[in-house]
Amino acid sequence: MILYYENPEIKRSSCIILILAMVFIAVNSFILHRGYEMVKKDYINNNAALIGKIVRIHPELEDEVVPVITKESSLKDVEFGIKILNKYDYKENLNINLLPGLKEDYSTLSKSMLFSMACFFVIVFLINSMEYVKMYRKLESLMFAAKNVIDYNFDVGIYENTEGIFARLAHTFNNMRTILKNNLIQIQKEKNFLINTLSDISHQIKTPISSLIIYNDILLNRKINEEKKIEFLRISQNQLNRIQWLVKSLLQLARLDVGAVRFEIKSNDINKTVTASIESLKIKSESADVKVEFYPEENEIMVNHDPNWINEAIINIIKNAIEHTKPGGKVQVFTEKSQVCSRIMVKDNGEGIHREEIKHIFERFYKGRTNRSEESIGIGLALSKSIIEGNQGMINVKSKIGKGTTFEVVFLNRFI
């Protein structure tokens, strides 16, 4: 139970009631003392009247009568006096109205006591009511905030700058409100992401599927020579390969965006990863008549990364460089390590990227104004960026029109 006294409401009301109780005791002590003084005064006045009457009639009895009231009376005198008073019905059950002095004292004392008690209970009632009103107002604010949360309005919070249950309740409610708000935002993002992904897939697949339908219709319903059939089948195969790659890339990008991919990040030689990427593009570079050269700064550069995924990211970057380099050109790949970071640089001497387009090149399905490749979809660089960032790296690009483009992948050494 003592734990509840941590609450400021209980502390405040308990302190106020304790102070009022002490004041009530002090006031009643004063009233009792005042009543005692009044009774004493009346007692002395009654004895004075009695002695004055006797001594005035019998002056010789002064020395005998005065000691009776100034000293302790003997039991014999008390009993004798009671017998005399009983003759006149002056007994203990005598009505107080027949004792004017005591009646007035009793009336004054009773009224004072009742008034002090009434004041005490009225003040306690008012203070208790005020405390309850404060608590119910806090509960009303909690209900109001909860209703706003139900209506998806998360801007109304509860704020308590004191200690106790209400402060902890306010803190817990605000945490819950923040969590619900973040969850709702995340759900909305995932919903929008799903809508955009489905829209992207639909948009990108629509064209090759339409082409496949036309070619299939021609093959089924028209008489064409064998050479044309082979040509249409080859085109259809290219379109199917494009759809397969597109769906695979979009699914990979979707998994990366929602955090469904678990990278196996370990210390691996980045030179081996880059070499594997270049080897995968050997046929493409030869068919495009673009030379790909690799210049590692050291024989072995250990970097924390997932080789399989980073391999795919580097493939997309080098592939993009090949597609934007004219026949006879070259793409140079560098790796280097400093005290701060490790770098992979892919440099081409191709057509370059316009300055206003650089901020868009990592957006999915973005194709620059100089991109003339029919196979290019505009998703490779977006996928590479997501993979690299998922491996705790960064990717930057620098370009000049007519001189070429340099992509730089950076892994800070503190992540190694």
- CA dist 5 and 11 (Å) reads 6
Answer yes or no: are the C-beta atoms of 411 and 305 closer than 8 Å: yes
> Tens digit of pLDDT for each residue in 193-234?
667 766 766 766 776 777 778 777 777 777 777 787 787 788
Spatial separation of the C-alpha atoms in residues 21 and 127, rounded to whole Å: 13
Residue found under tokens 């593009």? 281
Query: Which tens digits make up the pLDDT trace of 45-95?
Result: 777 777 787 778 888 877 777 776 777 767 777 777 777 777 766 666 666
Reading phi first (left if > 0) and then psi (alpha if -120 to 50, else beta), residue 411 is in beta
Structure confidence by residue, pLDDT tens digits, 375-403: 555 678 888 898 899 898 999 999 988 88
For the chain, domains (ranges, CATH) are: 2-150 (no CATH), 166-257 (1.10.287), 266-415 (3.30.565.10)
Check pLDDT > 70 for residue 367. Answer: no
Q: 92, exposed or middle or buried, with CB in 10 Å at 0-12, 13-18, 19+? A: exposed
Question: pTM for the complete prediction?
Answer: 0.51
Q: Which two tokens stand for residue 121?
A: 């209970």
Going by C-alpha positions, the residue among 322, 293, 305, 284 that lies closest to residue 404 is: 322
pLDDT, position 415: 45
Question: Is the CA virtual torsion 70, 71, 73, 74 positive or negative?
Answer: negative
- Sorted by sequence, the CB contacts under 8 Å of residue 97 that are 6+ apart come out as 103
